[in-house]
């Protein structure tokens, strides 16, 4: 748990409640947390899910791992400490956006259960959907769209998840999407269906 360094900060309450925002939006806010190995399909599924939800009139924010590392988290590398801080920031940002009534889709490897559980702990029960984008390491290596597995296997990239750094599979995710069996549209549809079943949309 990260402690607040400054003792001179005060949380300012808002005049507009989350309930009022959700009533206007026509749906509830939540966080869809996509986790899985690189090349499992997280970003592709996130983009398709965003489009399907947008077409339904939902207010959506997509946070993608590579994109966030080019701005908000550009000062972080891939050491265990930096990975933890990377996910902590996203979890806190997800909380803020969810409390603004948005459906937040995050697409991050987020390899450690501890990090993902932090995200869960910040979000009201029933509004956090850990979604395991499942794909075998062999298939991820075969896909390797960025050529990063090849470099990691050759030792050119250190601390690469699945090769030289661990990935801890989720214990009890809300959804499992096996991308060796389901296509992108089917995965996105499964997420949308889950949100409908849960009363989010």
Q: Report d(CA 196, CA 144) in Å as an integer.
A: 33
How far, CA to CA in Å, does 109 sit from each of 77, 115, 119?
14, 11, 13
> Residues with catalytic annotation?
110
Phi, psi of 4 (to 5 degrees): -75, 125
Distance CA 139, CA 19 (A): 43
Q: How far apart are CA 79 and CA 168, in angstroms?
A: 16
């Amino acid at each position: 748990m990260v402690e607040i360094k400054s003792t001179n900060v005060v949380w300012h309450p808002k005049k507009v409640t989350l309930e009022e925002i959700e009533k206007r939006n026509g749906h509830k806010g939540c966080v869809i947390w996509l986790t899985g190995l690189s090349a499992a399909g997280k970003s592709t599924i996130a983009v398709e899910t965003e489009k399907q939800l947008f077409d339904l009139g939902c207010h959506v924010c997509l946070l993608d791992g590579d994109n966030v590392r080019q701005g908000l988290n550009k000062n972080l590398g891939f050491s265990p400490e930096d990975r933890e801080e990377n996910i902590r920031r996203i979890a806190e940002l997800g909380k803020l956006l969810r409390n603004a009534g948005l459906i937040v889709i995050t697409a991050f490897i987020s390899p450690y259960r501890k990090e993902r559980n932090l995200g869960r702990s910040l979000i009201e029960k029933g509004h956090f959907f850990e979604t395991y984008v499942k794909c075998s390491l062999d298939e991820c290596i075969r896909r390797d769209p960025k050529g990063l597995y090849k470099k990691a296997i050759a030792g050119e990239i250190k601390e690469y998840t699945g090769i030289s750094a661990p990935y801890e599979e989720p214990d009890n995710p809300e959804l499992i999407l096996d991308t060796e069996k389901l296509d992108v549209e089917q995965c996105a549809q499964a997420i949308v269906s889950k949100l409908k079943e849960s009363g989010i949309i």
